[in-house]
Amino acid sequence: MVQQRTASSTPDIKLREVTEADLPMLFQHQYDPDANRMAAFPARERDAFMAHWAKILADDTMPATTIVADGNVAGNILSWEQEGKRLIGYWIGREHWDKGIATRALSEFLRIVTDRPLRAHVAKHNVASIRVLEKCGFAICAAETDSLDKPADEVEEFVFKINTSDDVEN
């Protein structure tokens, strides 16, 4: 039997700037083996994670938000420039999956960060993240294809892009 969500079971979502106090929970989220497999991204050890986030927090050009769901740190969303392109990424703690949190948080983030186009890379097997991006107005603009010179451990991924603020779902 499928249980229907009610309005009272939908978490209250807020975005705010990431603080150092959020980092222990964000570290735990990114250290989850199931989440690492889903994202096809390896966990960082604590020192490397903290050093990475120290750089993020010191960079005014890199908007970084904490996702708060019903008063709890549920994940983060950030945006950065890489090779002349503006990218976004997000990470949701596994205990907060399948509640609509990622979609609602990303929709709100896209109202705050108005740079366009924005791109997101997602592993082809990460169906949940693909769906979040599509719901928020992103569309596939590229797919990494198999090639003989590609390393065996390289992840196949889609690149999604959103072009205008008008593409954001309300």
Report if residue 160 sits inside a domain.
yes
- Residue with more model confidence, 165 or 156: 156
Report if residue 75 sits inside a domain.
yes
Report if residue 6 sits inside a domain.
no
What pLDDT, on a 0 to 100 scale, did the predictor assign at position 144?
63
Report if residue 131 sits inside a domain.
yes
- Cα separation, 95 vs 51, whole angstroms: 25
Whether pLDDT at 7 is above 50: no
Q: Where are the beta strands (DSSP E) in the chain?
A: 13-17, 64-69, 72-82, 85-92, 118-123, 139-143, 157-162
Report if residue 112 sits inside a domain.
yes
Report if residue 97 sits inside a domain.
yes
CATH number for 78: 3.40.630.30
User: Would you place residue 154 in the very low, low, confident or very high pLDDT band (cuts 50, 70, 90)?
Assistant: low
* Domain span including residue 149: 12-167
Report if residue 115 sits inside a domain.
yes
Place of tokens 């008008």: 166
Q: Please count the structural domains in the chain.
A: 1
- Cα separation, 15 vs 67, whole angstroms: 5
* CB-based contact 35:27 (threshold 8 Å): no
Report if residue 32 sits inside a domain.
yes
63-102 pLDDT per residue, tens: 999 999 999 999 999 999 999 999 999 999 999 999 999 9
